[in-house]
């Protein structure tokens, strides 16, 4: 299967002014098509640096996708950068200019002279129309690094995209997310499927774990992490560890079977440490477990700035709550609400510690934890540990 790299272009991304959502969207799309994504990179609006990044990607990957830098202003450098990387000049394309004029005319305006820049593309490139924006896109094909393919003309209706082994492609898309997504689905996916004969898919299953650290989980599934297909990997969060299973197969049914086999092995080794899959959230799993038990629930927090309240309804915030009074405050909150169960979490940043208290119909318990990580992560860590504590108590039999 072909490999791919994604290059996002824009100084505003490097400065933190906007968040790059395009890379994630394209990556997930490529994954679903069975394309291996090996690298992503963000480059500011500098022609030579962009061209250098593209040249390097062209040497490594069969598919290079850029987003951004296709607008009409002088700081939109992608067209020139791709041309430099491919070793060709820019050429004006009347058909693309007509598309720009048509889009702008929808708004009752005439295009300005600088908007003609959008009709220039690397010589011989395949033009891609943009019916939802003013920036046309393009594909530059080449058979070996820095040597453009001689067969670059747009095929007529019913004609196959170019011939010859080893063809690669640089695909330049807009940076505006809704434009990029539309063109990706309408034009780029069909092109990739036909050009690279894509007949496999990659499917992902994420198992969410709580109650064990990354190191302990790694020890228990080290043998699975050496597999080549499916692959198994870990991602640690504050109080939660994700186990990722990725299978490459000819179809979804085959991928599901491969994933199910590994998932069953993992669940056998970890039991209720695995609390959810894919889009499941710990707080939702906890609330479902409490509801299934038939309990009503209330909660209090201190030093969390509303973090627990955003996860559990009916959470009261009590400032400067001391550890000795956490259980007393929790008892009072439970009595006032007539709840069956109550959860309390208090964080003490100066001590890098947290106190948790839990009342259920069966018992009252407190638990103190200390934290060695970054202080700003302590609230998230303590809340996730407290939620998992409540989950396990709700799942216990009387």
Six token digits for residue 244: 């990722």
Residue 397 has pLDDT above 80, yes or no: no
Q: What does the alpha-carbon distance between residue 177 and residue 175 come to, in Å, rounded to a whole number?
A: 6
CA distances from 320 to 69, 246, 354 (A): 50, 46, 13
Residue 16 has pLDDT above 50, yes or no: yes
Residue 69 has pLDDT above 70, yes or no: yes
User: Strand locations in the chain, DSSP E?
Assistant: 3-9, 36-43, 63-67, 90-92, 120-122, 126-128, 137-144, 147-148, 168-173, 201-209, 231-236, 241-249, 274-277, 297-302, 315-317, 341-348, 353-359, 364-370
Alpha carbon of residue 351 to chain centroid: 34
Q: What does the alpha-carbon distance between residue 79 and residue 136 come to, in Å, rounded to a whole number?
A: 10
- Mean predicted confidence (pLDDT) in 215-230: 94
Q: Give the model confidence (pLDDT) of 100-111 as tens digits.
A: 888 888 877 887
Q: Give the model confidence (pLDDT) of 114-172 as tens digits.
A: 888 888 999 999 999 888 888 889 999 987 645 554 444 333 333 333 344 578 999 99
How many Cα atoms are found within 13 Å in the side-chain-facing hemisphere of 243?
33
* 182 close to 225: Cβ distance less than 8 angstroms: no
Give residue 323's pLDDT band: very low, low, confident or very high (50, 70, 90).
Answer: low
- Mean predicted confidence (pLDDT) in 33-60: 94
pLDDT score at 382: 95
Q: What does the alpha-carbon distance between residue 199 and residue 28 come to, in Å, rounded to a whole number?
A: 16
- Residue given tokens 């003609």 in the structure block: 116
Q: What does the alpha-carbon distance between residue 51 and residue 43 come to, in Å, rounded to a whole number?
A: 10
pLDDT score at 157: 31
pTM: 0.75
Q: What does the alpha-carbon distance between residue 52 and residue 77 come to, in Å, rounded to a whole number?
A: 13
Q: Give the model confidence (pLDDT) of 250-308 as tens digits.
A: 888 999 999 999 999 999 999 999 999 999 999 999 999 999 999 999 999 999 999 99
Measured in residues, the chain has a length of 398
Handedness of CA 307, 309, 315, 316 (dihedral sign): positive
Residue 62 has pLDDT above 90, yes or no: yes
Q: What does the alpha-carbon distance between residue 71 and residue 104 come to, in Å, rounded to a whole number?
A: 13
Domains of the chain: 3-195 (3.40.980.10), 201-277 (3.30.70.2860), 282-395 (3.90.950.20)
3-state secondary structure (DSSP) of residue 58: helix
Residue 66 has pLDDT above 80, yes or no: yes
Q: What does the alpha-carbon distance between residue 46 and residue 75 come to, in Å, rounded to a whole number?
A: 8
Six token digits for residue 120: 């220039």
pLDDT score at 283: 95
282-293 and 378-395 helices cross at what angle (nearest 10)? 30
Q: Give the model confidence (pLDDT) of 185-211 as tens digits.
A: 999 999 999 999 888 888 999 999 999
pLDDT score at 359: 95
Q: What does the alpha-carbon distance between residue 10 and residue 53 come to, in Å, rounded to a whole number?
A: 13
């Amino acid at each position: 299967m072909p490999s791919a790299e994604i290059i996002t272009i824009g100084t505003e991304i490097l400065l933190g002014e906007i968040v790059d959502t395009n890379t994630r969207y394209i990556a997930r799309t490529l994954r679903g098509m069975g394309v291996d994504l090996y690298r992503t990179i963000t480059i500011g609006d500098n022609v030579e640096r962009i061209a250098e990044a593209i040249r390097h990607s062209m040497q490594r990957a069969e598919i290079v996708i850029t987003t951004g830098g296709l607008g009409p202003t002088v700081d939109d450098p992608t067209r020139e950068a791709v041309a430099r990387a491919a070793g060709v000049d820019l050429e004006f394309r009347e058909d693309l200019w007509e598309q720009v004029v048509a889009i702008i005319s929808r708004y009752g305006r005439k295009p300005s002279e600088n908007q003609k820049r959008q009709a220039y593309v690397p010589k011989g490139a395949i033009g891609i129309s943009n019916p939802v924006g003013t920036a046309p896109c393009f594909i530059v094909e080449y058979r070996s690094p820095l040597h453009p393919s001689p067969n670059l003309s747009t095929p007529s209706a019913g004609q196959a995209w170019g011939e010859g082994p080893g063809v690669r492609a640089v695909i330049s898309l807009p940076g505006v997310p809704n434009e990029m997504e539309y063109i990706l689905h309408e034009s780029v996916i069909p092109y990739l499927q036909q050009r690279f004969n894509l007949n496999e898919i990659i499917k992902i299953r994420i198992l969410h774990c709580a109650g064990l650290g990354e190191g302990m989980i790694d020890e228990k599934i080290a043998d699975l992490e050496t597999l080549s297909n499916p692959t198994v990997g870990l991602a640690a969060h504050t109080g939660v560890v994700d186990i990722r299973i990725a299978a490459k197969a000819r179809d979804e049914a085959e991928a599901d079977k491969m994933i199910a086999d590994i998932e069953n092995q993992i669940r056998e080794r970890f039991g209720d440490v695995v609390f959810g899959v894919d889009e499941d959230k710990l707080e939702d799993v906890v609330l479902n477990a409490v509801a299934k038990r038939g309990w009503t629930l209330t909660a209090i927090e201190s030093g969390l700035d509303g973090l627990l309240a955003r996860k559990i309804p009916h959470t009261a915030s009590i400032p400067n709550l001391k550890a000795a009074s956490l259980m007393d405050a929790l008892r009072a909150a439970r009595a006032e609400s007539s709840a069956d169960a109550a959860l309390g979490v208090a964080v003490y940043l100066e001590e890098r510690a947290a106190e948790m208290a839990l009342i259920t119909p069966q018992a009252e318990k407190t638990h103190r934890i200390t934290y060695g990580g970054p202080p700003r992560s302590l609230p998230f860590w303590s809340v996730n540990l407290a939620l998992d504590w409540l989950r396990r108590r709700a799942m216990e039999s009387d």
